[in-house]
Structure 1
Amino acid sequence: MTSHLFQPIRLGNLELENRIVIAPMCQYSAEDGKPGNWHLIHLGHLALSGAGLMFLEATAVEPEGRISPADLGLWSDETEAALTRVLEAVRKESAVPIGIQLAHAGRKASVRPPWQGGGQVPRQEGGWDCFAPSPLAHDPGERTPLALDAAGLDRVRDAFVESAKRAARMGFETVQLHAAHGYLLHQFLSPISNQRDDSYGGSLENRMRFPLEVFDAVRAAFPSDRPVGVRVSATDWAEGGWDLEQTIAFAKAVQARGCDYIDVSSGGLTPAQKIKLEPGYQVPFAEAIRAATGMPTIAVGLITEPMQAEEVIATGKADMVALARGILYDPRWPWHAAAELGAEIKAPKQYWRSQPREYKRLFGTTSIEQR
């Protein structure tokens, strides 16, 4: 059979060999924004997975925009140089296209890594003041964030632009803006977190204004022949919050400004969210956005089985599927999916001997016996 999951796709001028995407996944392992050995190992082995596209984790555009003190950043010559060293090593061994997700955590910044409890870091222990559309804390008991004034909005927008320029210099094939999971751009979109009374709050048009300004600035700063996408939370899963109808309006707005794809997730804005988890629970959001806009969409969320991913693509619910926890658990998930679906996958020649006899053409080459 011909697998839809393993058909090529174009995002702007970027051609991907298949529809499998490695989602951005925070590692909480950087030092002052700089990656180290962990990132080299982590990205190196995922780059050999056979996925069509790999994203780096949410990468802060300024120090105050980090989720945790151990977040990756791209705001200085030092962070750029450290990340370039990792990328050069990965690219020497893998041709997978690599994207970067540019992010600002807003009011969800200054927290500990998950394995340290995830609570907000006190100022006396290295924590910092957070910024948000409105002075509303994410969780009761956390410090009240500082509402961004005109100068603050300019600073954050310019930080996204400078990070996009650095990403272009470093050769990233695509940039994705993080407007999901309750982080700063999502905070502007949602009426739960955005209660401003100026031109950046109130109506849907006003709440979309700053994220659209950031998108316009990044699109102008990143090479026109390389795609720019956006990750969205399609719903807050909370009464009175951001929802699918507003997400479609936002998707149409970024599409008109040159957006090349939408990565569709959900939630993360408020502890009051009530999410019904089940396999593929976010796929209907991607399907609705794709139907309304015709823009390439990435579906995420408890997509774990090859036939499940195949069905999402084959039935037109989304154009790509993104794996996160599933590919951490099984870094060769694309190999196993290709074997199950009768497709071929690119693998390093050093690993050709690993293909099982029953899948002699899995790697597009005849089986090589160990001498």
Structure 2
Amino acid sequence: MEKIVKFSRLLRENNIPASLRSTQTAHETMQMFKDNEEILNDALASVYIKNNQQRAKFDKVFRSVFGDGNESDESVGSDGSSKSKTSNNKNLLKGYNYSFKMLDPSKTKIYVSESDITSYRPPLDELNRNMDESELLRKDINHLTTFEPELLDLCQKLGNKIANKRVRRRKQSKNMRPDIRKTLRKNLKYGNTLIEIIKTKPRMKKNRHFFLNDVSGSCDWISNWFFLMVYAAQNSFKKAKTFEFDNKTVETTSALEEPNLLDAFIKVRDIRQKNQMIHGTSNMHSAFESFKEQADLNNKSYVLILSDCRDWAGPKSGKRPLSSDGMEYIVDKSKKVIILNPEPRNKWNVVDSCVSYYEDSGAEFFEVRNLEQLAELISTI
């Protein structure tokens, strides 16, 4: 049992989940397959591993715990083989009468073809280190690119997690509490003995959610992951609408109706291209004016904006950006306006950043530095 506990601890140190239940199951598994190390490796992998990308780390930890202990002691030679293997080969050769003729290196010509030169190079896929989900979740959101295919699946998982969290919260809110006034009046005929309990009826919430996505050059990559999470969690939001803006605002709600995540992603990119919104310049004044015309805001509306709030091309009155008037209108018409800023907090209110002006208008600001924070904040509304 001590060996399994140590094994679980090392797995957790290598970012592989190992719960108490998994440890107990692994102990029972080891009792069945302890005589066959290869089968034990596969059996324990089926207990611990949830993602095949973690198999390399798992095998390394397995060898360090269940191996013969010689792996770390072997020193590697210049040709890539271990010294122990070399000594074993020499012992095997002693049983045969082999004679070796040493050649003069100066008189020996070596012919190397071009294919031999490039054959030792590993494929490009092997040069890229595969990051597990925990590393991707905590990676700086500004350094994520769409060339990492694992992020599509990860965003879908985060979206489902957001939806499940919101559904649980909604079910808890529907747990009806006793209505004391109605219960006492109902039980007057029983001499105020509590026989029948009257429960309160849950309030009908008619909240509407609007998601605004900044697709200007400074927020282009981040906006992709924002939309993918909203797509995966859309069923938990009532009457959700999505918009994207740079110097104008375009509605992308139709992409939420696509059957799968990839088709929705492609449709959003197509909408951007048709409206010439690829690496555009921010004009938040005209973007907010366009949004006011397209969105029917009321006191049940929640507006969630992903933007660095840098109004590059927006008009100003002195030092005050006119886009703050549009933000003030959106705040007055809505129940709550939340802005998620992917920039570090020390860069807020620097140069053309409008954070302080939007805060004065009533918007709430949150710093978003990774996907985990982004998913957590989306789930709170």
Normalised by the shorter chain, which TM-score bucket?
under 0.3
TM normalised by structure 2 equals 0.25
TM normalised by structure 1 equals 0.26
- Bigger proportion of residues as strand: 1
